[in-house]
Amino acid sequence: MPKKLALIPALALAIAGLGATPALADTAAADSAYSAAGAAAENLETAVATDDAAPADDAATTDDPAPAEPAPAEDPTPSEGSSSGDDAPATGTPDAPSPAEDETPAADESTDGAEEETAPASAPIEATVTVDPSTVDIFDFWEDGVTITVSGLEKDDVVTNSLTGETKTAKGSTVEFEYFDDAEEIVEAQVVDFTVTVERADQEPQEFPGRFTITEEDYEDFQEGELSLATNSMSVSEFKRKGIAYSGKGFIPGETVFAVAAKNGTDEIIYIDDSVEVSQDGVVSGVIRATETNDIAPGEYFLFADGELQFSMAEFTLTADQAQASLTVSPKTIDASDFANKDKGVTLTVSDCTPGSDVRFVVTPKGNSDVTAFDQTLTADETGTASVNVFGTSSRTQAYVGDYSVTATCGDDTLTGEFSVTSGANAGGTTGTGNDSGSQLPRTGADFGGLTGGLALLLVGGVAVAMTMRRAKAGQAPTEL
């Protein structure tokens, strides 16, 4: 407040003092009081407006009654017995200057205090918390969640949500938080209580409570439909390659179905599709395809399909991948004489096949029509292994010299290999006389005509070998098998 305006209350006090002071008969005292009052008036005029000083002086030298304000004070003078009318203005004036002088500094002090009290201050924190929706079923909460709105804020208020610890700075009067359980950790109906903390720069933080209710899914209007899978069991690797087809019926034609596949008892979702369309016949179909192929583990899984008025569920199993089936050929090179020896020959072994599955071995000579191909199917044992020993049955061992291809079929896997039969120093056999070496025999079909014509030149070991031995004891030759 300007100093010249602050003097107005002091003047008011001075005027009040003039009216309350008792009249004095002493003319000299009255004159002294009049002079003091005049001095105070002059000081006041100087403080309020210095430009008014000149007119005041002019008024003192003229007969204009305007500056003669002490004149009304003459009325009480005769009642006091005063002998001169000029003494009237002195009535009650001796003490007037003193209050004006004393009160002026006080006015300055009160003015300074008023300036401090008018410093701007923020309004008290009066926020409100609302949750939309205030009641939500558990499936909608998983998918859509709730919206928490904090209103009644000021710009730059800092708001913290206790549910997640998330903090936001207000840009206006409201702040919103989205809260939902995408991990599906909440599995039961419950009341969720939380707080929102609001911080304002010049005030203590304030907490405001909030609450919403999660309810169980209302199944009264739902019907359980049919959902079938192309297979109920598949290996992890095959599932990654092919997936599992599914179909269901009884849904509303044209609606959109939410489908999800997950591992039982966990939150491990391996497939999700929220927009599976239903045909006009009310049939829904799709393929469960892995979304995170690197994280799929063997175990029990389920597929859940959810429509407007129907839900369906089916279970399936993903099995551990077996080791890659393999074929071993040993030895890969063999002398003809050793190949024609039933205690030697070539051993073919398939490993890591599915236990109990069929394993087919086929041995085919390359470009040698004198040797009949070998074809045998065995059953893999409990370890997934099947093995055969292939050897020649003719004493004319030179007939077996050459290269052979091996094929083994194990489930969907086809395995290949090869081996070679060579003519060694003693690999020739006889022509019946016992005098000729095998290396000297010409390799023509005519020479080995007696070896063809449907006679099996390759026999299988294992069970077949055991049968051969029993028949040999009965007087039968191996070539008769």
Residue 122 is assigned to a structural domain of this protein: no
Domain extent for 88: 3-117
Select from 312, 448, 328, 470 the least CA-distant residue to 392: 448
Q: Which two tokens stand for residue 432?
A: 């019946």
Please tell me the total count of domains within the chain: 4
Residue 123 is assigned to a structural domain of this protein: no
Structure confidence at residue 200 (pLDDT):
93
Q: Do 398 and 315 share a domain, yes or no?
A: no
Q: Which two tokens stand for residue 472?
A: 């040999």
- 341 HSE (CA, 13 A, CB side): 10
DSSP character at residue 375: E
Q: Do 334 and 438 share a domain, yes or no?
A: yes
Domain of 354, CATH number, reads 2.60.40.10
Exposure string for 101-131, b = 16+ CB within 10 A, e = fewer: eebbeebeeeeeeeeeeeeeeeeebebebeb
Q: To the nearest whole number, what is the mean pLDDT of the chain?
A: 72
End-of-domain residue from the set 95, 117, 139: 117
Structure confidence at residue 183 (pLDDT):
74
What is the per-residue pLDDT across 342-369, written as a single tens digit (0 to 9) for each? 899 999 999 999 899 999 999 999 886 6
What is the per-residue pLDDT across 24-49, written as a single tens digit (0 to 9) for each? 334 343 344 344 444 444 444 444 44
Structure confidence at residue 219 (pLDDT):
56
What is the per-residue pLDDT across 77-111, written as a single tens digit (0 to 9) for each? 444 444 444 444 444 444 544 444 444 444 444 44
Q: Do 104 and 139 share a domain, yes or no?
A: no
User: What's the rounded mean pLDDT across residues 447-455?
Assistant: 28
Q: Please, is 374 exposed, middle or buried when counting C-beta atoms within 10 Å of its C-beta (0-12, 13-18, 19+)?
A: buried
Residue type at 9 in one-letter notation:
P
